Homo-oligomer: A and B are copies of this chain.
Amino acid sequence: MRRYRVGILGATGLVGQRLLERLEGHPWFETAALGASERSAGRPYGEAVRWALDGEPPPDPAGLPVHACEPRAFEGCDLVLSGLDAESGRRIEPRFVEAGHAVVSNCSAHRSLPDVPVVVPEVNASHLDLIEAQRRRTGRGFLVTNPNCSVTGLVLALAPLHRAFVARRAVVVTLQALSGAGLEGPRGLEIVDNVIPFIPGEEEKIEAETGKILGTVAGGAVRGARLEISAHCHRVGTIDGHLAALSVELESGPAPAEAAEALRAFRGESEGLGLPSAPERPVVVIEGPDRPQPRRDRLAGGGMSVVVGRIRPCPVLGLRLELLAHNAVRGAAGGTLLNAELLVARGLVGGGRGA
């Protein structure tokens, strides 16, 4: 079986570095082209990148040249993955779509467009139906996104409850890791012995994207779920893993044990497709009175599972729990890659796998 050729936009950023790392030894994909800012263009990746992950850059892509993010440099790619920041993505991604590329993006810039699906495969793989509508606007190329890093975990925990009991209102308070802020996050001087109770734009993203993902596609657009969300976001001094405390009102008011059972029994829309990055269980219910904890539980399912614990009654909204997802894996690079795999499995890119 030939491997799909993958291009990466924003390859020197933190999400780009994670994408490269995850593509090492990927069974379906090979890294074929790297794009970054004009400043980096023309240099070998290993020189251009300020590597921020453990160890050193993987040797193969380290030798690839970095291009400016121009479609012509990505011509032979079957797929383009984007780790661009919001501002660059807003400008650059449409040019790739216009040039006919299938763009799978972690960037927030276009998530609110009605015909751009925001996809968590286990939850709303069916939203890929929007691609048809989107192509009526864009031609051959299209754009699929994954949600904000704090939304991914939230919808994975909410979806089983919403399906089984219908969620109506939720208060979610996040304790988010430093890697979620990328390479330009808070200084050590700002975060040691401290918490920053604010992340620009984050509460709005959570409140907007959650309803869209849990909604249904109709007439070429998503009808959002009727679900009021209130988010309070904090940056804490952890490296990886966004923790969240959730109080939720469910229409049929299940007991905690029923909720736990629904979470455990959850099978995603994308299961059975054999996606290489999919975890065995998208939702892990953890025992222990003081779990999940970021450092100890963020690698559940290779960082691709959400971990839910402390499921108990909430005196105000009915049910409360703690949830944890690895923001840099499931919430960013891993989520983008899983979406790319879903597109391949659905026959939406290249000439079809195994052709």
Could you tell me which A residues sit within 8 Å of B by CB distance? 52-55, 169-171, 173, 175, 178-179, 181, 183-198, 200, 207, 228-230, 232, 234, 236-239, 243, 245, 247, 289-297, 299-300, 309-310, 314-317, 320, 322
In the complex, the answer to whether B192 meets A293 with C-beta atoms within 8 Å is no
A296 and B175 form a contact (CB under 8 A)? no
- Asked if B194 and A294 sit within 8 Å, CB to CB, the answer is yes
Given contacts A229-B316, A232-B173, contact A292 B197 (CB under 8 A): yes
> Would A197 and B55 count as touching, CB distance under 8 A?
no
Question: Given A188-B185, A230-B315, A230-B316: A197 and B237 within 8 A (CB)?
Answer: no
A sample of 7 cross-chain residue pairs with beta-carbon separation below 8 angstroms, ordered by A number, consists of A52-B190, A54-B299, A55-B296, A185-B188, A188-B237, A196-B290, A236-B236
A198 close to B316 (CB less than 8 A): no
Q: Which of B171, B236, B292, B322 contacts A171 (CB 8 A)?
A: B171
A316 to B237 CA separation, bound complex (whole angstroms)? 28
- Contact between chains at B173 and A316 (CB < 8 Å): no
Given A189-B185, A189-B239, A232-B245, A195 contacting B175 (CB threshold 8 A): yes
Expressed in whole angstroms, the Cα–Cα distance for A171 and B294 within the complex equals 22
Q: By the criterion CB–CB under 8 Å, are A230 and B187 in contact?
A: no
Residues of B within 8 A of A237 (CB): 188, 192-193, 236-237
B238 touching A169, Cβ below 8 Å: no
A52 to B188, CA, bound (A): 12
Give Cα A247–Cα B314 distance, bound, in whole angstroms.
Answer: 14
- What is the CA–CA distance of A170 and B189 in the complex, to the nearest angstrom? 30
Q: Which of A171, A183, A186, A207 has the most CB of B within 10 A?
A: A171
Could you tell me the distance between the alpha carbons of A194 and B52 in the complex, rounded to whole angstroms? 12
Q: Are B292 and A169 in contact (CB under 8 A)?
A: no
Contact (Cβ within 8 A) A247 B193: no
Q: Is the CB of B229 within 8 A of A193?
A: no
Which B residues touch A173, using CB under 8 A? 173, 232, 245
> In the complex the two chains form, what is the Cα distance from A185 to B296 in whole Å?
18
| Residue pair B190, A193 in contact (C-beta under 8 Å) | no
Q: State A117–B322 Cα separation when bound (angstroms).
A: 33
In the assembled complex, which residues on chain B have CB atoms less than 8 Å from the CB atom of A170? Answer: 316
CB distance from A160 to the nearest CB of B (A): 20
Distance in angstroms between the alpha carbons of A300 and B54 in the assembled complex = 9
Cβ distance A243 to chain B, nearest Cβ, rounded Å: 5
Cβ of A194 and Cβ of B238 under 8 Å apart?
yes
In the complex, how many angstroms separate the beta carbon of A210 from the nearest chain B beta carbon? 12
Contact B236 A195 (CB under 8 A): yes
Nearest chain B CB to A9's CB is how many angstroms away?
A: 22
CA distance A175 to B170 in the complex (A): 19
> What chain B residues lie within 8 Å of A193 (beta carbons)?
192-193, 237-239, 294-295
Known: A230-B320, A315-B229. A192 touches B178 (CB 8 A): yes
Which residue in chain B gives the minimum CB-CB distance to A197?
B322
